[in-house]
Amino acid sequence: MTTTLPVSRRSDNAALRKLRRNSGAMLGFVLLLLLLLAALFGPLFLGNPGAQDLAARLSPPSAAHWLGTDQLGRDVLTRVLSGARISLGLGVSVMLASLITGSLIGLLAGLLSGWWDEGLMRLTDIFLAFPSLILAMAISAALGPNLTNVMIAVALVSWPTYARLIRAQVLALREREFVEAARALGSSQGRVALRHLLPNSLAPLLVQGSFDVGSAILTAAGLGFIGFGAQPPTPEWGAMVSETRNYIAQAPWASSAPAVAILLTVLAFNLIGDGLRDVFDPRGR
């Protein structure tokens, strides 16, 4: 069975055109593309991020070390680019895990109504009231501070936003004619949810998802900074800032390079999120 969805190819093209004209979003995409290329290919040319040269410790930026070296003589650029793989992977994984969990809960709440809706939304309220970093710290401390546990911890506190978002979309869409038509043609609840409601809720999810990748990277780097995330010598950006913080007076490049990398990555995702919001919901500007 096929039913025409309101999301048409023509409106998709119009959205793409609008996005292309949005200079902020384009800057975000270019930044992200550069970061992705650097993360993918940089480490192939730059060698081992853990390689130490104690004779060259805390060297300023030079032709040999473009971003200088840290307190153990490790090349800061190599470590920052290796860290890009970690942070980008972590941000996207956390966003996808929270998006899938939150969307499932939001879809169920919106579709099932009644007590299910009430129960699932109260569960969402409970997790929204949780101080996310403190919960993430406790989980990470108990499971052991490493990247996987950081991802679990951050995803566990990030899903409620998606649940609320998708539920609101489902409530707005479920009485629309195209959904009623699908039901009248015999579509099951699951099919209506996956083929009709979810595709028409993608725009706000996409906007929220863009912001959340940056937010997850910031949170995970914060956890890394206070010792609850990736552990040295892993070249995770937050842990790198933490490792080099005591040398900021002698070698500001060592802690500033990973911090600026975090800033640029979060900035790229925020710019993309802003652009997508301008396209899909101009009132939210």
Radius of gyration in angstroms for the set of CA atoms belonging to the chain, rounded to a whole number: 22
Kindly state whether residue 208 participates in binding another protein, applying the rule CB under 8 A: no
State which residue, 38 or 56, has the beta carbon closest to another protein: 38
Tokens, residue 280: 């899909």
By CB under 8 A, name the one of 155, 218, 230, 279 that touches another protein.
Answer: 218
Among 197, 266, 276, 279, binds another protein (CB under 8 A): 266
Would you say 170 and 106 are in contact if contact means Cβ atoms under 8 Å apart? yes
Q: Examine residue 52 and tell whether it contacts another protein (CB under 8 A).
A: no
Tell me the C-alpha to C-alpha distance, in Å, between residue 254 and each of 53, 79, 250, 258.
15, 10, 9, 8
Which of these, 41, 114, 121, 90, lies nearest to 213 by C-alpha position? Answer: 90
From 227, 231, 233, 280, residue interacting with another protein (rule: CB under 8 A): 227
- 226 is a contact residue toward another protein (CB under 8 A): yes
Question: Which of 52, 71, 132, 231 lies at the binding interface for another protein (CB under 8 A)?
Answer: 132
From candidates 159, 162, 228, 253, binder to another protein by CB under 8 A = 228
Cβ of residue 29: shortest distance to another protein, in angstroms? Answer: 15
Q: How far is the CB of 103 from another protein (least distance, A)?
A: 20
129 lies in the site for another protein, by CB under 8 A: yes
- Per CB under 8 A, the list member of 125, 148, 190, 281 interacting with another protein is 125
- Among 97, 221, 251, 276, indicate the residue that binds another protein (CB under 8 A): 221
CA distance 8 to 59: 57
- Give the number of residues written for the chain: 285
CB of 107 to another protein, least distance (A): 21
Rounded Cα–Cα distance for residues 73 and 222 (Å): 24
Q: Which is nearer to another protein, 147 or 259 (CB)?
A: 259
Give how far Cα 134 sits from Cα of 93, 137, 153, 155, 194, Å. Answer: 21, 5, 10, 14, 35
